[in-house]
Structure 1
Amino acid sequence: MPPLLSIDAVSKSFAAHRALAEVDLAVEAGEFIALLGPSGCGKTTLLRCIAGFLTPDAGRIRIEDDDITHAPPYRRPLNTVFQSYALFPHMSVADNVGYGPRRAGAGRREAQERANEALALVGLEEMGTRLPSALSGGQQQRVALARAIVNRPKLLLLDEPLSALDLKLRRRMQIELKHIQEKLGIAFIFVTHDQEEAMAMADRIVVMNAGRIEQTGTPEAIYRAPATRFVAEFVGEPNLIPLEPAGPGRARLALGGAELPAASGMRFAMARPEDIVLIDGSVPDDVATFPGTVEEVLAIGPLTTLFVRCGAAVLKVARLGMSGAELAPGSTVTLGLRPAALHLIAE
């Protein structure tokens, strides 16, 4: 059985700028996919090619066995939720949601029933008679979502729909959006530049850079085993420790001098801030240590991040439950890490 969505070698250019370069991607039914990357990486261009608002210069887009590469948007079994919500200001909430079924040929009563079902799914069944202007930003976002799902498309595209919301509301909507997606069983493709948003919601993350896919994987794989230096630095806060050759199949950490197995061409060892420990007392045999001097202490709630200079490098060390006053700038510390836990990166 073919994937729900197949993208094969899709390219798109605008004048001399190549926005997409032979992108390949497969999306299964019911998956929540996040397209993640910086501004200008090609994620919105890819979404618009899937939606039919742009036509690729090369490549093919299929939904199951149907080639939709050149099909107009209204001929595709999908829907899109935009960043601006694009609600009709003169229509009630219920009429906004019922607009899709009416366009598809449903009678007024059937359209109303389906609109009420969709509004109940997003928790707005009591607000059908209001105008969009009477709703909060989060409520308008849910109306836009209800309008997009009322016809039960096979695929829903979301173009940064939470970016206009404040932080607290955005986090609550992330949870609600994921619950709605799981309840419906519809595949979602969600465009975002917010790594935390992608990590919180997606089954798989597609990290894009300069029109290409750098890596596709689960949030855990993207965070713990980035394929490239770009992915490591874009997702989370990595410590990249240079490696030096130490014989066939071996490398040496530039900090501390510990040796570890390494394939040819590995240039960096990545340690996340939470993986580096402060040594106070005896040192386990499998832990490499090196001295450092605290340069800065950043305490946000229960999380404290130390910026520690070790030779030419400054390492980030994250700790829960430390006040930050325990180690002032200028303090001398000993850091430790387990070489076996490091992730090696070629470039």
Structure 2
Amino acid sequence: MSLYRNAVWFLNGIHQYTRKGYEAASKDFEPQDLDVSVVGRSFMVTGSNSGIGKSTAMAIAKKGGRVHMVCRNKDKAEEARAEIVTESGNTEVYIHIVDMSETRKVWEFAEAFKKQYPSLNVLINNAGCMVHKREMNDEGLEKNFSTNTMGVYILTQTLIPLLQKSRDPRVITVSSGGMLVQKLRVDDLQSEKGRFDGVMVYAQNKRQQVVLTQMWAKTNPVIHFSVMHPGWVDTPAVSTSMPQFHQMMGDRLRSVEQGADSVVWLALSRAAARTRSGQFFQDRRPVPAHLPLAWTHTSPKEIQTFVAKLENLSEAVQSLGPYKPQVV
């Protein structure tokens, strides 16, 4: 079955996830959807010093939004902020130094943010990683899982009360079409069984994000949740974590602006807010979160078990000692 999933996924990808796929899909875009001003609205973008995150932050700043950049590297963040401010003319761009793999620090940051800021209209979970060897963070969590799943879960869950108090609140999570080859493994969330394959671990994390988004949409009807696939994009992260794939695809890869397009559309457009919450998007339209006949659906019992495990891990993180986040 995994061979079938991989084959179907790759064939779909060649047609849909490449630069040509974006160009074909964009013929049906409504240009006026992004003819908006978001002055007065606040946006948090994780992993925003490069790639899709930086392109998203730039687009929001150009529309007048207040941008909170959550980044791991202070120097790269300051360089990206300076570029965004210069090009957009918008000085309401703020840096928060947080490593999304360190889940305790993520929780402390989110708690501090709620106290400091009166509102947050849009949270964009963009930061992610693909580590090919098993590494553990300070809390004993596998690094891909701690960054891609627990960091997203803790940040979103902690900020939900602030989002609920804000006008037209939205949460967008940047996932991956790679999740289509994975079924949620409730009994192996941190990929401890069998051979450790970073690409498949990443895909499993991205399936976890899709399931989380669907759960949040059901339990938080005030907030519009969405998860999306940016396509195969030419980013520093792809060239570093998947060098052979990056070299093989070459100029067929999408630009970062093309990869960020659906994120920006979901964050800014009125049209996006009218879609049903909890869906998986690709090129501004909802698409199935499962391949035909792939048997990757998750049962209600499995979702309940999955969420309970994340809640337990989150409570364990919160019981650890205090942390003081850096705000620049």
What TM-score, normalized by structure 1, do the two folds share? Answer: 0.27
**Who wins on radius of gyration, i.e. which is larger?**
1
* Higher fraction of helix: 2
What TM-score, normalized by structure 2, do the two folds share? Answer: 0.29
* Higher fraction of strand: 1
Q: Which has the higher contact order (CA 8 A, sep 6+)?
A: 2
